[in-house]
A and B are shown apart, each in its own frame.
Chain A
Amino acid sequence: DTGVSQDPRHKITKRGQNVTFRCDPISEHNRLYWYRQTLGQGPEFLTYFQNEAQLEKSRLLSDRFSAERPKGSFSTLEIQHTEQGDSAMYLCASSHANQGDEQFFGPGTRLTVL
């Protein structure tokens, strides 16, 4: 399977705990994006990387959220001190800026904060 993969697919945690999600983009894609989708809403942009550089962050990305893409390949999204309002589907997408830039989405990580 050469699509975007995300791990884990589901995460249940208690309020106050830290969680980390991983995204593996399509090979050779230089852009990687994180979105969040809550129930009844469309996906909302959180942040994106071009190679290893984080180029834009949404106001939704509070100080408790940190995203990294250290080698310009996979990315991690960490949420510290989780709150119930963090419960959502976290979607990752990747694209190649010089080949149409179409974003391909992964299956998402569903986070439930109890």
Chain B
Amino acid sequence: GEDVEQSLFLSVREGDSSVINCTYTDSSSTYLYWYKQEPGAGLQLLTYIFSNMDMKQDQRLTVLLNKKDKHLSLRIADTQTGDSAIYFCALRDIKIIFGKGTRLHILP
């Protein structure tokens, strides 16, 4: 079945860029997502990319997709304390397949 892998933790200094990486096995998904989950809060769709795109930029967020290597990344520029959360990589055809999440910790 489909599998989505991502590292569990990332620590970044405030003001630096954060890069969260994800690899996946399924190549039939149309949409690839990044969700954000803060403690006690619901899942928030952060950004997404269509499978026929290589890059998408949205303000401080840049998503890169390497279809050949089945690798998806999320770059957060100028990381702020409010970016501290768990970030889930996810794939969708109809249902969504989520990774286990990367906990982003911001160092002062």
Interface residue SS majority, chain B: strand
- Give the number of chain B interface residues (Cβ < 8 Å): 15
Q: Is A106 interfacial (CB 8 A cutoff)?
A: yes
- With beta carbons under 8 angstroms apart, the residue of A35, A42, A107 that contacts B100 is A42
Q: Is the CB of B95 within 8 A of A56?
A: yes
Q: How far is the CA of A40 from the CA of B101 in the complex (A)?
A: 8
Residue of B nearest to A110 (CB): B40
Q: Is B24 interfacial (CB 8 A cutoff)?
A: no
Q: How far is the CA of A93 from the CA of B45 in the complex (A)?
A: 12
What residues on B are CB-neighbors of A74 within 8 Å?
none
What residues on A are CB-neighbors of B43 within 8 Å?
43, 91, 105
* 10 A-B pairs with the lowest CB-CB distances in the bound complex, closest first: A42-B98, A45-B95, A105-B43, A107-B42, A43-B98, A42-B100, A42-B88, A42-B101, A42-B99, A105-B42
Give the interface of A toward B (CB within 8 A): 31, 33, 35, 40-45, 48, 56, 91, 93, 101-103, 105-108
Give the interface of B toward A (CB within 8 A): 4, 42-43, 45, 88, 90, 92, 94-101
Known contacts A41-B101, A101-B92; 15 additional CB pairs below 8 A are A31-B94, A33-B95, A41-B100, A42-B4, A42-B98, A42-B99, A43-B88, A44-B98, A45-B97, A56-B94, A56-B95, A91-B42, A93-B96, A107-B42, A108-B42
